[in-house]
Amino acid sequence: MDKRHLMFSGTLACTMLLAMAAAQANDTTGYVGTGGVEYLKNKNISMHSEDLYISKDEIRVNYEFKNLSNKDITETVLFPMPAVPSSIDSDYADISATYDNFKVWASGKPIIPNQHVRTFMYPIIIKNGEKNYAEKAIDTTNLFKACGISDAQMMSPWTYKFDTDDINQRLLDCNSKTLNNFIDDRESLYIPWDSQIIYSWEQTFKANTITKVKHTYKPLVGGSVHLGEEEFPNFCVDASTQKGFNKNGGRPYHALSYILTTGANWAKPIANFKLTVERDPNELVSFCWKGKGNVKKVGPTTFEIKESNFVPTHDFDVAFIMK
């Protein structure tokens, strides 16, 4: 058997679990990109089809993977949810609704995945005599554990079961010189760190066979009371929709992001790709699409895109706008 690593992901593909990097949230609307399959390139595994459904309430993906080789291949499958900050604004996505909502089936049989938690902190950098936090976070899980912080406490940005100020105080009280690389003010409880939940399981892909995998989860949906002109390009808001805006200014909206580009990591292009987007009856929906397929309205609230031999070159941001 050939053992490698396969990732079902919300953010970044990494070669090892310990090397997972933190995803950054959008500051305006407070939504974080979650996604589908990420894969460390394997010449023997192709994505035969991907059927993706997106709404504010659910992301549902049905995959068909084809093992092109004459040997069974067993993979460690990972689904990392995005890394979320320990301190969030009021308009940020409803994290607790997403926590522990991930479900997966292989060949029609439910799988109970293992659950892991990682933490990330931002190193302090000094440039031109000024201190700032680096843009890229570093995995500090082992540092948290060395300071006596449990997995359940590290998971608190998702579960809200522990006060993050108490955790920050424990970091301040921890006798670790390494923390000085991440904490600017030892008198302040403000310590930026992120928490990431990762699901994992073992999956065998039979030789010369298609394996069906399905997963569902509730997306991290953010929003704002005002979708204005500055956000129009992000969601390709068309002229007819903009006319309605001109009467009352900006509109309240929700938004979510889905990471598509990792679908380009497979042995071949995705032979058959379908994207379905569903809105509520009292909403408009707006998004950009740069593929060759046309956006078709297939129901009163449902839109569909189909692609053949699809290699995604862009991610997918969608706005659900109140009428």
b/e per residue, 284-316, with b = 16+ CB within 10 A?
Answer: bbbbebebeeeeeeeeeeebbbbbeebebeeeb
Residues 100 and 222 in one domain: yes
Residues 176 and 217 in one domain: no
Query: What's the average model confidence in pLDDT over 64-80?
Result: 86
Residues 284 and 225 in one domain: yes
From 195, 220, 236, the end of a domain falls on 195
From 180, 195, 210, the end of a domain falls on 195
42 — pLDDT class (breaks 50, 70, 90): low
Residues 114 and 160 in one domain: no
pLDDT at 273 > cutoff 50: yes
* R_g (Cα) of the chain, nearest Å: 21
pLDDT at 128 > cutoff 90: no
d(CA 308, CA 271): 5
On whether the CB atoms of residues 125 and 10 are closer than 8 A, the answer is no
Tokens 């001109």: give the residue.
Answer: 246
**Nearest alpha carbon to residue 48 among 206, 203, 204, 266:** 266
pLDDT at 294 > cutoff 50: yes
pLDDT at 73 > cutoff 70: yes
> How many CA atoms within 13 Å lie on the side-chain side of 284?
18
**The predicted structure's pLDDT at residue 272:** 94
Tokens 């397929």: give the residue.
Answer: 293
Residues 221 and 185 in one domain: no
**The predicted structure's pLDDT at residue 9:** 36
Task: Kindly report the backbone phi and psi dihedral angles of residue 131, in degrees, each rounded to the nearest multiple of 5, phi listed first.
Answer: -90, 135
Percent of the chain with pLDDT over 90: 38
**The predicted structure's pLDDT at residue 96:** 66
Residues 95 and 212 in one domain: yes
**The predicted structure's pLDDT at residue 262:** 65
Domains contained in the chain, number? 2
pLDDT at 90 > cutoff 70: no
* Residue 207 DSSP one-character state: T
Task: Kindly report the backbone phi and psi dihedral angles of residue 273, in degrees, each rounded to the nearest multiple of 5, phi listed first.
Answer: -125, 135
Best-predicted range by mean pLDDT (15-19, 83-87, 177-181, 248-252): 177-181
Q: What is the pTM of this model?
A: 0.75
pLDDT at 211 > cutoff 50: yes
- In which domain, by residue range, is 170 found? 121-195
**The predicted structure's pLDDT at residue 67:** 92
74 — pLDDT class (breaks 50, 70, 90): confident
pLDDT at 237 > cutoff 70: yes
pLDDT at 6 > cutoff 50: no
pLDDT at 275 > cutoff 60: yes
Residues 96 and 161 in one domain: no
- 3-state secondary structure at position 168: helix
Residues 79 and 36 in one domain: yes
Residues 66 and 131 in one domain: no
pLDDT at 212 > cutoff 80: yes
pLDDT at 222 > cutoff 70: yes
Residues 140 and 188 in one domain: yes
**The predicted structure's pLDDT at residue 88:** 65
From 143, 165, 195, the end of a domain falls on 195
pLDDT at 129 > cutoff 50: yes
d(CA 255, CA 286): 10
Pick the residue with more confidence: 140 or 40? 140
Query: What's the average model confidence in pLDDT over 61-68?
Result: 92
